[in-house]
Each structure stands twice: as structure tokens, then as C-alpha cells.
Structure 1
């Protein structure tokens, strides 16, 4: 597998499994997209290992093997086996090119390991600790590719974390029933107790009034994360802003759909309609094209 093929594999993973986010990435300058796809592709690849095997031992061994290969590749070891590691060449190239913190990679893999054994979270702080690795570090790994403005990289890190948390919590709300089928409950148990919701209620045919109240509460919490992330968009180079604004509109649109369905996340997966996704893309396309052209403009002075 060539490096080009690895980047293409990651792109296809993004296009297949992250349709809303993939649509937003099309608003980025062409040179940034492969790197965003590489980061998404690695995260999705690890997530598929955690979710796709039937025996915990097999999943644990496969994830540990991936961890060892990634660690070796990032340390400058021998190239990963092409057949077994279609995402690692692109991922490691992107990590090296942008100086992405290896600690973020370690934190992500630690949260993936938690999914093999942890099925409940007592408090929101406990869930945040898990989401630090599963979501917040995805935001901070993406940050160098999206290019903070000079002097703002440090300040932009917290909004990037918050956006990762917002996206992850949105996914948890959308996938309540699907996660329960895997034996997991990501909504904090203290919140279930507060609203009088039992884990079995998350797999019912329709939401109970108590469950609707719980989901409304968690939706407000997700919107708070989006609000904290908002200021970070203008800290990025202009060519990255339309992508982030579109991604926020698309993922925030999932919350809109959940609310419009009166928090019935059990009867079907909440999704932004294709026409709405297209309208969001078109709305930001002009700004993306203009910013890209401006950044390509170079003045050459000949003495």
C-alpha cells in the first residue's frame, strides 16, 4: 500500500461512515483534506475494532496490536505492514507533518480500550474523562491542520476540545438505542437517577416522559459545548472557517431533529435531510472558495 493509497483509504472511510463531516471537509482547501481524512480514518478504524468483533478477547488483542504498530510507526520504526495497517501510513505522515502531540494519540487509544470493559459512567465528570480521549483530543489533533492564526494556537486549543465534546455528546444522544444494543450506556447514571430513568427505558419502543426530559437536559448540555467552541472558529485561518461552520450546522442539525421529534431517539436515527445538508454546504461554499483564492494569492517582488 502506497502512502497515496493509504490517504485514499482514509478518505473512503470518512465518506462512508461520516457523511456529514465528510461533506464539511469538502469546503477545505484541497491540500488540507487528506490530512483531516487521515485523522478521521485512524479514529474510525480503531473504533471499528472496538465495535466489530464478537469476543472481547479478540477485540482487546486487535486493539493492542494496533497500538503497538502505531507507537512503533510514530517512533520511526519500520513501515507498517500494508495489508494489516491501511490507515497507519497516512496517519503517521500527518502526525509527523503537523507535529501533532503523541500524547493525544495515547489518550485516544486509552479511551478505545475503556470501551472494551466500561459500560456505564456514574457522573458527567466520569464521562468527560472518557470523552477527553475519545473526542476532545480529536479536536486538538485536527487543530494544526486547520491552522490557527499566528499566536493563537494555545488559545484555540480549548475551543477545539469543546467542539470534539459537542460532536461526541451529539452522537451519544442520537445513538442511545444502538449503544444499548452493544451493552453500553453513555448517559451518566446520576442523570438517569435524577430523572427517574432506568437503563431498560433506553431500549423501549418509544421514550417515556422521563426519558424525554433526560434527553432534553443532555441536549442543552451539548449545546453548551457548542457555544464554548464557537469563539475558536475565528481563531483559524479563513480557509478553514467555512468547514467548521458547516460541521457545526450539520451536527447541530442532528440536535434540531432530535428536538423536533420530541426526543424520540428510539424509533429511528435522527439525521439531517439531504436537502438540508446540501443547503448548508452551498451556503458556505462561496466563502470557502473566496478564502482559498485569497490564501493562494502571492505577490512576488523582483529586485
Structure 2
């Protein structure tokens, strides 16, 4: 791995991470975040510098688990998940030098902020679902998966972001936003998920538009779409926009220094839905993305708001 640059060192120093091995662990998480979570990585730049490493750790751990379950060998993936879960159990209880670097970093973040182990249990349960479940009959079934794969990550983020009142008041909105991010990914990645044999859209809602897995596969194979698929996706996009509207109310419950980050992430992710619509809901022949100009239009004003909030409310670092 390349030596840490100035920005990486500044984040680690501000967070009080001094142990050389742990610093390297966090850098691995940061690299995963930068490479695979560009939208949220950009938004994370709006957080106070001392909090960023902890967001990188949470993302890096989630990405590490995702890569395990997306591997083609189910037996090997099961064994690797078992190893990650065993490492995590030990590391959450205290330093575990022989654990995977990503696990060491996220466990350090969990201990620093007192994250509930049950949130990690729910996350790992959803990751195990990916090894055997290839579709979801209805929204209730999908919601059980989303609870562990996304809502708990929103709840894990809350202590890092901070709240202006009781954390339990902000928790439902954090979970909603996590779910909205996840469903946005599902809608963007329909084609890629099909290539892995999975459909993360409720079968009964697709059926209401005469869409089933066979039709989705037909469109994917021919790199084209179908009016029925477009109507189904338009319905699901509209519903996800509504979820963002409900989740947005929770941003004001966060500490002022964190609001610009979360608002930017919300705008960027919701922008993916707009790009899907602009592409005629064709997510089976291409992968839509928010263009750089739109990302800049969100990030630059967000940076100004974040800077103003930091001037008004100095943020103490957290020792490690």
C-alpha cells in the first residue's frame, strides 16, 4: 500500500489514532471507501476531519463483507464470513491483533463510539442471506434484508455524526436514509445484480406491472428495456423519492457540523434516481451515474455550509 498522504495523515492525527498498525488498518478502509463508495466518500469530506476515519471504517467493513458474498464460490464465501464474524466478535471485546485489518479498524470505531454489537449481528445476518436468497417475494421480505444491510449502518453512523437531542429521536430517520440509499443502489444495479443471479426488487410489485425475473433477464441479455419494466421502475423510483422526503426531516436532528455531509449524501444519492429517470429507466443495458458537474454543484455549497458550521461550533477530537 502506498504511504499515507497529507489528507490521510491529517484524518488519523485528528482522530488521535497513533498506533502504526491501526493507522494502516484505517487507511485500508479509506482506500475501499474511495474506490467503491465515491458518492458517500465525497460527502464524507464535509465532516470534521477527526470523524472521517470512522466513517471510512464503517464503509470499508461493509464493502469487505459485500465482496465476500459476491464471490462465485458459495462454500468459500461461507467460510470467509464465518472467519470475519469470529474476528469481529473478538475485536469488539478488545484488541485482536490477528484479526483482518478492516475488522480491527471497524471494531476500534465501534469501541470508540459504543456501537451496539447487535447492529453488527443484524448486518452479518443480511450478508448471509446473500449466499442463499436470490429474490424477495414482497416488500416485507426485502425489508428484512434491508434492515441488516442498510438501516443498521445508518444507526451505526449516528454516534459518529452526533445529534442535538436524544439519539433515539434521530434513529428512525437514520434508518430510513440508510434504506433509501440501499434501494437506490438496487434500482441502479438491477443488471449487475441479475448477473449474480439476484433480484433485489419486490416480486409482487414487479408483477403488478407484468414484470418478472424472466423478463428482466431477457432485457439484460439483449441490453434493452421494455415498457413494462420502465413503468415498474418508475413506480419504485417514485416510492424511493418519498422515502428520502421522510428521511430528510432527520437531518436537523444531527449536530450542525454533520448536517452538510448527510445532506450532500442525500442529494447525491437521490440524484441517481433522477439519472435513472433521465435514462428512460434503462438500467439493464448500462449503469447510470451522477455526472461530475452535478456532484460539484452539491459538494461545493456543502463545503461552504460545513466550514461555517465548524467556525460556529468547534469540534473536539476523540482520542484513540
TM over 0.5: yes
Question: What is the aligned-residue RMSD (CA, Å)?
Answer: 1.3
Is 1:123 matched up with 2:123?
Answer: no
Deviation of 1:293 after TM superposition, in Å, equals 2.0
Q: 1:80 to 1:183 in 2, by over 3 A?
A: farther
TM-score (structure 2 length as normaliser): 0.89
Distance 2:285 2:195 in 1: 14
Q: How does 1:45-60 map to 2 (within 5 A)?
A: 45-51=64-70, 53-60=71-78
* Displaced runs of 4 or more, over 6 A: none
Aligned to 1:229: 247
Report if the CA contact (8 A) 2:151-2:177 is conserved.
yes
Gaps (5+ residues) in structure 1? Answer: 299-303
How far, CA to CA, are the matches of 1:24 and 1:39 in structure 2?
14
Aligned to 1:64: 82
Q: 1:63, CA displacement in angstroms?
A: 0.5
What is the aligned partner in structure 2 of residue 38 from structure 1? 57
Shift of 1:297: 7.9
* Distance in 2 (alpha carbons) for counterparts of 1:170 and 1:297: 32
1:79 aligns with 2:93: no
Q: In the alignment, does 2:277 pair up with 1:259?
A: yes
* Counterpart among 16, 23, 31 of residue 12 in structure 1: 31
Aligned mates of 2:241, 2:315 — CA distance in 1:
37
- Extract unaligned runs of 5+ from structure 2: 1-19
Secondary structure of 2:281's aligned partner: coil
- The SS at the match of 1:2 is helix
Q: Does 1:196 align with 2:245?
A: no
Equivalent residues in 2 for 1:273-288, closer than 5 Å? 273-288=291-306
Structure 2 Cα separation of the partners of residues 68 and 227 of structure 1: 38
Residue 42 of structure 1 contacts residue 87 of structure 1 at CA under 8 Å; is this kept in 2?
Answer: yes
| Alpha-carbon distance between aligned partners in 2 of 1:140 and 1:192, rounded to the nearest angstrom | 29
1:294: Cα distance to partner?
A: 1.9
Equivalent position SS for 2:101: coil
CA positional deviation for 1:102: 0.7
Cross-structure match for 1:105: 120
Matched, 1:143 2:162: no
CA deviation profile, 1:111-161 (whole Å, cap 9, x unmatched): 000000000111101100110000000000001000011x33111000000
Distance 2:39 2:315 in 1: 30
Contact 2:48 2:315 in 1 (8 A): no
Q: Give the stretch that moved more between structures: 191-200 or 17-26.
A: 191-200
Q: Is the CA contact 2:264–2:299 (under 8 Å) kept in the aligned structure 1?
A: yes
The 2-side partners of 1:102 and 1:17 are apart by 25
What's the TM-score once normalised by structure 1's chain length?
Answer: 0.94
2:169 paired residue number: 155
Conserved? CA contact 1:120–1:189, under 8 Å? yes
- Separation (CA, whole Å) in 2 of partners of 1:28 and 1:264: 34
How far the C-alpha of 1:267 sits from its partner, in A, is 2.1
Q: CA deviation at 1:80?
A: 3.8
Per-residue Cα deviation, 1:216-238 (whole angstroms, up to 9, x for no partner):
11111211211111111000111
* Distance in 1 between residues matched to 2:312 and 2:206, nearest whole Å: 50
Aligned to 1:183: 197
Aligned to 1:301: none
2:268 matched residue in structure 1:
250
Aligned residues: 293
Q: Contact 1:201/1:207 (CA < 8 Å) preserved in 2?
A: no
